[in-house]
Amino acid sequence: MRIWQGEIDNAFVFTGYGDHHAGTNFFGGGCYFNGAAIAIHELRHRFGVKKAAIIDTDAHHGNGTWQIFEDDAEVLYVCFCPGRFVESKNKVNVEVPWTTSDDDYVQLVKESFIPRARAFRPECIFWNWGYDGTQGEYGDMGLTPECHVRLAQELRQAADELCAGRLIVVLCGGSRRDLAHLLIPKVVNALCEQQT
Q: Is 128 in the site for Zn ion (CB under 5 A)?
A: no
The CB density around residue 4, as the number of other CB atoms within 10 Å, is 17
- Radius of gyration (Cα) for the chain, nearest Å? 15
Q: Is 58 in the site for Zn ion (CB under 5 A)?
A: yes
The CB density around residue 28, as the number of other CB atoms within 10 Å, is 11
Please say which residue, 58 or 123, places its beta carbon nearer to Zn ion: 58
Q: Is 151 in the site for Zn ion (CB under 5 A)?
A: no
Please say which residue, 60 or 166, places its beta carbon nearer to Zn ion: 60
Q: Taking the complex as a whole, how short is the minimal distance between the CB of residue 196 and Zn ion, in angstroms?
A: 32
Binding part of the chain for Zn ion, among 99-107, 114-122, 167-175, 186-194 by CB under 5 A, reads: 167-175
User: Which member of 30, 83, 142, 145 binds Zn ion (CB under 5 A)?
Assistant: 83
User: Which member of 132, 165, 169, 184 binds Zn ion (CB under 5 A)?
Assistant: 132
Please say which residue, 78 or 168, places its beta carbon nearer to Zn ion: 78
For residue 64, give the H/E element and its range.
helix 63-69
User: Which member of 79, 124, 141, 171 binds Zn ion (CB under 5 A)?
Assistant: 79
What is d(CA 55, CA 61) in angstroms, rounded to the nearest whole number?
A: 11
Binding part of the chain for Zn ion, among 53-61, 68-76, 115-123, 155-163 by CB under 5 A, reads: 53-61
Please say which residue, 49 or 76, places its beta carbon nearer to Zn ion: 76
Please say which residue, 54 or 167, places its beta carbon nearer to Zn ion: 54
For residue 115, give the H/E element and its range.
helix 114-120
The answer to whether 163 and 28 have CB atoms below 8 angstroms apart is no
Q: Is 148 in the site for Zn ion (CB under 5 A)?
A: no
Q: What DSSP designation does 85 have?
A: P
Contacts for 41 with CB less than 8 Å, ≥ 6 apart: none
The answer to whether 99 and 141 have CB atoms below 8 angstroms apart is yes
For residue 119, give the H/E element and its range.
helix 114-120
Interacting residue ranges for Zn ion, rule: CB under 5 A: 58-61, 79, 81, 83, 93, 130, 132, 173
